[in-house]
C-alpha cells in the first residue's frame, strides 16, 4: 500500500508569491491534516480536513488555506509569502477522524524556502 | 491551552546504553499521548501511544507509561542502537473533539555512537 505522498518535495519561492502544496493520503483514509515544522517553533498544527470539510484549525493567519477533494487528496495554499513561512510542511492522513484510535501516517514533507 | 515539554537535546549515548527522554504535558481532561520518531529526511512515524492513565505503550524496545499524577509520558529504552538515532517527539491529542489536532513537544534529537 502506498504511503502518504507529498508534492513537490522542494520549493523555492520569492516573498509576495503564493504557493500550493499537494498531499495524496493513503488509499481509504478520509482525514488529512497539515503541520508546519520549523527549528524555532517545532511542529504546529495548521488544519485538518475530513470528508472534504475543515474540522479543526490552528492559529495561523488567513494567508494559509486548504481544501480537500472528493478523492481525499488535499491541497494547502499560502498566499503573499513571507520569509518566516520557510519551513517543512508535513501532511498526515488517518483512516478515521481521530488519532487516538486511528494513527496518523505522515508524508515526507515539502520543504519550502522563501527568499 | 495544551502544551508538551520535552527535555532539550541533543542526547548523545553509546550503543547499548539506557535511554530516557522526559516528557511532561499540560492539558485539560484526559488526552491521549504519543511518541513519534523522525529519521533524517523523512516524515514522522508513530512509535507508541497510550490512551488512558497507567497505560503502557511499547514498540521496538521502547516503552512509555501514561502517568496522570505527574502528567508525564517519559520514553525509555533499555539498550539503544545506532539505528535509533533520530528526533523523538512527544505529543498529545484530546480523545473527544480533538480530531487530529496534535500538540507536539519541540523534539529531542538522539545520537547513538559506537
pLDDT digits (tens, 9 = 90+) for B1-56: 889 999 888 999 999 999 999 999 999 888 999 999 999 888 899 999 998 999 99
- The beta-carbon neighbor of B46 closest among A56, A97, A103 is A103
B102 touches chain A (CB under 8 A): yes
Chain B's closest residue to A97, CA to CA, is B99
Q: Find, among A9, A10, A13, the residue nearest to A85 by Cα.
A: A13
DSSP, collapsed to helix, strand or coil, labels residue B83 as helix
B44 touches chain A (CB under 8 A): yes
Contact A107, B61 (CB under 8 A): no
Q: Which residues of B touch A107 (CB under 8 A)?
A: 43
Q: Is the pLDDT of residue A98 over 70?
A: no
- The beta-carbon neighbor of B44 closest among A48, A58, A106 is A106
Output the average pLDDT for chain B: 92
Q: Would you call A42 and B105 a contact, using CB atoms and an 8 Å cutoff? A: yes
Grid look-up 513537490 returns A8
Q: Per-residue confidence at B97, pLDDT binned at 50, 70, 90? A: low
DSSP, collapsed to helix, strand or coil, labels residue A83 as helix
Alpha helices in A30-85 (DSSP H): none
Q: Would you call A109 and B43 a contact, using CB atoms and an 8 Å cutoff? A: yes
Q: How far apart are CA B52 and CA B30, in angstroms?
A: 7
Contact A29, A105 (CB under 8 A): yes
Give the number of residues written for chain B.
Answer: 114
Percent of chain A with pLDDT over 70: 95
Q: Per-residue confidence at B98, pLDDT binned at 50, 70, 90? A: low
Q: What is the mean pLDDT of residues B60-64?
A: 97
Q: Is the pLDDT of residue A2 over 90?
A: no
Q: Which residues of B touch A21 (CB under 8 A)?
A: none
Amino acid at each position: 500500500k502506498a504511503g502518504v505522498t507529498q508534492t513537490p518535495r522542494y520549493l523555492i519561492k520569492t516573498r509576495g508569491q503564493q504557493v500550493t502544496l499537494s498531499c495524496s493520503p493513503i488509499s481509504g483514509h478520509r482525514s488529512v491534516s497539515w503541520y508546519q515544522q520549523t527549528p524555532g517553533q517545532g511542529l504546529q498544527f495548521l488544519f485538518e480536513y475530513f470528508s472534504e470539510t475543515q474540522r479543526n484549525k490552528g492559529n495561523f493567519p488567513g494567508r494559509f488555506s486548504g481544501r480537500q477533494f472528493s478523492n481525499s487528496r488535499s491541497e494547502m495554499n499560502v498566499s503573499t509569502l513571507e520569509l518566516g513561512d520557510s519551513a517543512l510542511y508535513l501532511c498526515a492522513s488517518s483512516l478515521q477522524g481521530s488519532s487516538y484510535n486511528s494513527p496518523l501516517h505522515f508524508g515526507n514533507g515539502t520543504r519550502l524556502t522563501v527568499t | 491551552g495544551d502544551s508538551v515539554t520535552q527535555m532539550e537535546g541533543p542526547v548523545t549515548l553509546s550503543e547499548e546504553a539506557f535511554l530516557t527522554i522526559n516528557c511532561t504535558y499540560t492539558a485539560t481532561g484526559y488526552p491521549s499521548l504519543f511518541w513519534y520518531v523522525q529519521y533524517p529526511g523523512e516524515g514522522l512515524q508513530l512509535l507508541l501511544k497510550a490512551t488512558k492513565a497507567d497505560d503502557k505503550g511499547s514498540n521496538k524496545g521502547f516503552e512509555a507509561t501514561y502517568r496522570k499524577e505527574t502528567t508525564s509520558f517519559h520514553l525509555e529504552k533499555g539498550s539503544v542502537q545506532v539505528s535509533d538515532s533520530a528526533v523523538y517527539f512527544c505529543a498529545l491529542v484530546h480523545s473527544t473533539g480533538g480530531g487530529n489536532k496534535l500538540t507536539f513537544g519541540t523534539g529531542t534529537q538522539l545520537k547513538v555512537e559506537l
